[in-house]
Structure 1
Amino acid sequence: MHTITKAVEVEVPVSVAYNQWTQFESFPRFMSGVEDVRQIDDATLHFSTKISGVKREYDARITEQVPDTIISWESLEQPRNAGSVRFDVLGPDRSGVSVTLEWEPETFTEKAGAALSADEMQVAADLDKFKDFIEERQRETGAWRGTVGGVAVEGSGPVHGDTLGSGTPLEDGTTENGTPNI
């Protein structure tokens, strides 16, 4: 397994950074190569990716989730990957977001990219896009404040703050993620 660790500081409270990261469907807005994420249940996600021209779909399980602290996951099938996102309070309106990703390069292109640290550069670039996304908004598009540990899911479900379920309403009659605003 190849391991990458990258971090970024964001100028928002830790709860805002964490809450936004729980909105998995928004990942394509700041993660290159992620085309779609569907949340199947509180602890299972379905990813559609296209990286270096290779399309893949896989399910991942959230293995640990503690509000304002950590979200960890592991894939349930190929391609094998696992990791965590840690959130640290750096001040009242400042947070640290640190990603550790373990993955198994499969294709020649993936192996070459890992050897040349292209994957590390991509994770760093995606964290910078997350920083721009959340600092521009200064608020999350939604939140999930429950706790996941092993197979247990506890606590509250979705919290939508300024949203209507799946995104902030837009003037064209849709929400941020493109679903009709009915």
Structure 2
Amino acid sequence: MAHIQESVEVNVVPAVAYEYWTRYDAFPEFLEGVVSVTRVDDTTTHWVVAVHGEQREFDTHVIERRPGELIHWRSDGALGGEGTLLFEPVQSRSAAFREALHGATGEHGGVAPADTHTRITARLSWEDKTRAEHFGAAFGTDSRKVKKDLRHFREYVEKRRVDAATTDAV
């Protein structure tokens, strides 16, 4: 059984990060190898992915969902496994600096109070059935791919946040 745990900090609050992550039809924009994701019902999505030059399909079933906090799912088919995404609020470095500089008294002299970022932690496990899957897990290729996908998600969300703020200001 292969296991991965990777994290990334995103410059949005957990509710926003969670909302963007649950837009399954957008997954091909930031998850490498994902061709499409289609919502079947409230807890099931159908995935088409390209893996090692082959197209594969499978269904994923959400086992537990806590908006803004957690998504836990199990997949069946050729790419069976399970995973959890945790969305945790963390204080941004600039907010931590402002708090250290001005104290926790609330006296910020016009500086905004502490804002939050989100630490997204992905925990994945699956049976590595093929030789390529076994080597991918053993040599860290899968872990690097998950880390890269999380960074792409961060870029995806933060760009849309900036675009939305720009549009709202016009």
> What's the TM-score once normalised by structure 1's chain length?
0.73
Q: Contact between 2:86 and 2:122, CA under 8 Å: does it hold in 1?
A: yes
For 1:11 and 1:93, how far apart are their aligned partners in 2?
Answer: 8
CA drift at 1:54:
2.3
For 1:54 and 1:84, how far apart are their aligned partners in 2?
Answer: 25
What value does the CA root-mean-square deviation take over the aligned residues? Answer: 1.7
CA drift at 1:60:
1.0
CA drift at 1:13:
1.2
Q: Which has the higher contact order (CA 8 A, sep 6+)?
A: 2
Aligned to 1:30: 30
Aligned to 2:58: 58
**Which has the larger share of helix?**
2
For 2:29 and 2:128, how far apart are their aligned partners in 1?
Answer: 24
> What's the TM-score once normalised by structure 2's chain length?
0.78
Is 2:139 the counterpart of 1:119? no
Select the structure of larger CA radius of gyration. 2
Structure 2, gaps ≥5 residues long: 92-114, 165-170
Aligned to 1:132: 155
Q: Contact between 2:38 and 2:46, CA under 8 Å: does it hold in 1?
A: yes
For 1:27 and 1:40, how far apart are their aligned partners in 2?
Answer: 15
For 1:57 and 1:16, how far apart are their aligned partners in 2?
Answer: 29
Q: Contact between 2:37 and 2:48, CA under 8 Å: does it hold in 1?
A: yes
Structure 1, gaps ≥5 residues long: 142-182
Aligned to 1:3: 3
For 1:113 and 1:74, how far apart are their aligned partners in 2?
Answer: 20
Segments of 4+ moved more than 3 angstroms: none
SS in structure 2 of the partner of residue 5 of structure 1: strand
**Number of aligned residues:** 141
* Paired amino acid for 1:79: L
Q: Contact between 2:2 and 2:128, CA under 8 Å: does it hold in 1?
A: yes
